[in-house]
Each structure stands twice: as C-alpha cells, then as structure tokens.
Amino acid sequence: MDATDLMSDEFFKQFKTGHELNDFLKQIQKRGIEKMLEGELDEHLGYEKNQKSASSNSRNGFANKKVRTSYGESEIEVPRDRDASFNPMIIPKRGNMVEGLENIIVSFYAKGMSNSDIQEQIWESYNFEVSTSAISRITSKIIDDIIVWQNRPLEPVYLIVWMDGIVFKVRENSKVINKTVYIAVGLRRDGKKEVLGLWLGKKESSSYWMSVLTDMKARGLQDILITATDNLNGFTDTIRNVFP
C-alpha cells in the first residue's frame, strides 16, 4: 500500500469505524473506571493507599469483573477490602456499570475539560447519593490520572498519524451536550498504534490543530512521516509549520 492509499478517505473511514479505535477508547474508559473505583475504596476505608490507619480493615488486592459497555466487554479490576464490606457504587457486586457513566468517561481524558465539569458529572453519575468527601476523593483520583495520561511523553517518530474528530457527550456549563473531541492516533516504529491524545475543541480549524500539534511536539514528538486527515483547508500547511 503506497502513501496515497494510506491517506485516502476510504482508508481513514475504515480506521475510524473499525474495531481498533473502539479498543483504544475502551482501554481509556477502563482506566478511568478503575481510578474511580480506587477513589471509592479510599472513601470506604477512610484513608488513601500508603497512608496509615487505625482501622482493622485494609486493602486486599483486586477481583476481576467483566462489564459490558458501548465499546464492548471489558475486564475491570475491582479493589477489595479484607472485611469484604466494600460494595462499589459504579460497578455493584451483582450489577453492571451505573447508567450514563460509560458515555462520558472517555471525554474526561480530553484536554479542555475543566475539573469542575468533571466533578459535577461524576456527582450526577452517582445520582447525588454519596457524600461530598466521597466525590472529592473520586474526582481527585481520576484527575491525577488524567494529568499523567495527558502529559505522558510520546515517541520521537511515528510512521503515520491519523487525526480527526469524534462526537462525545461532554459536560459544559452545567449541561451535557454533544461536542467534538479531536483525536490523534499514531503508528509506532514497532508496528503498534497508540492514542497520542484527546482534545476538546470548540470548532475544527487549522489554527486549532496547530495547538494540538504543538502540544504533541512539546511531549517529545519530533517527526511524522505520513499524516492522514480530512484535508481541512490549511491543515497541510499547519502540519508543515510544526513539523517541517
């Protein structure tokens, strides 16, 4: 397959709607769910991991649970306590994931989501049935992970980078609305693909993509051999400006 074929609309459409992208998003979703569960356990025990507590109850490893989401079946690591008194709310012991959470959790990892919007959405996902301290612990746990994921170093070179937008439900100004989250997926030199980042944008434009490309460059990306895009006006020039 030559470069022209790789950059064709047909190839990109197949990638966007194929199982690979679905799997990428499922892994991000799994990551977020597990961090929220850790926050729930912290609240249940009354202390965070590596802290000392006078309580006789403590962490006791993990149990695996399969849950079905819009991205397919995932195996989630659910933390346990020694007293077996911990029953997580977002994934109950004898139930499935709380309704509504799966559709918005991936968007938490997009740059541009405010901490207050994330906290408010988490609060609503729990149907306001948990304490303020619990929401604070859960939000803190996932936001810490979001920051790590958003700022992780990238490979210096990617053979191909696909860039386009996907519509997600996100929270903005106390309302849940459909917004475009821009995504970049890179093909590494070892043949594996990875999501380079998610960015919440107001409107797709070459200037907006300039900020996305600059962000990736700041995280260690030095060169892209082939880019696959929707040929937005000015996009090619923008790419060349950042990666000449």
pLDDT in tens, the chain (244 residues): 333 344 445 544 555 555 777 788 888 989 999 999 999 999 999 888 877 766 788 888 999 998 887 777 889 999 999 999 998 888 887 766 666 676 678 889 999 888 988 998 888 888 767 888 889 999 999 999 999 999 999 999 999 999 988 887 777 777 778 888 889 999 999 998 899 999 987 677 788 889 999 999 999 999 999 999 887 888 889 999 999 8
pLDDT value at residue 103: 65
Same domain, 136 and 210: no
Residues 201 and 160 occupy one common structural domain: yes
Shared-domain flag, residues 79 and 187: no
Q: Give the residue from 91, 115, 150 where a domain finishes.
A: 150
Same domain? For 37 and 134 the reply is yes
Tell me the pTM. Answer: 0.83
177 lies in the same domain as 94: no
Q: Which of 119, 150, 181 is the last residue of a domain?
A: 150
Distance CA 244, CA 241 (A): 6
The answer to whether the beta carbons of residues 50 and 114 sit under 8 Å apart is no
Assess contact for 146 and 108: CB atoms under 8 A: yes
- Cα 154 to Cα 50, 117, 119, 217: the distances in Å are 30, 27, 28, 8
**Is the same domain home to 127 and 189?**
no
Q: Are residues 121 and 102 located together in one domain of the fold?
A: yes
185 φ/ψ angles, rounded to the nearest 5 degrees: -120, 130
Helix ranges (H only) for the chain are 3-6, 9-17, 19-45, 115-125, 132-150, 206-218, 235-242
Structurally, how many domains does the chain consist of? 2
Closest CA to 219 of 150, 124, 117, 133: 150
Domain with 137 in it: 28-48+55-150
Burial class (CB in 10 A: 0-12, 13-18, 19+), 123: middle
Maximum distance among all alpha carbons in the chain? 65
Let me know whether 108 and 142 are in one domain. Answer: yes
Residues 138 and 158 in one domain: no
Same domain, 112 and 218: no
State whether 34 and 141 are in the same domain. Answer: yes
Same domain (yes/no): 122, 39: yes
Strands 193-200 and 72-81, bridge-based pairing: unpaired
Contact 138, 119 (CB under 8 A): no
pLDDT score, position 24: 84
The sign one gets for the Cα dihedral 242, 160, 207, 113 is: negative
Radius of gyration of the chain (CA): 20
Domain end: 132, 150, 168, which one? 150
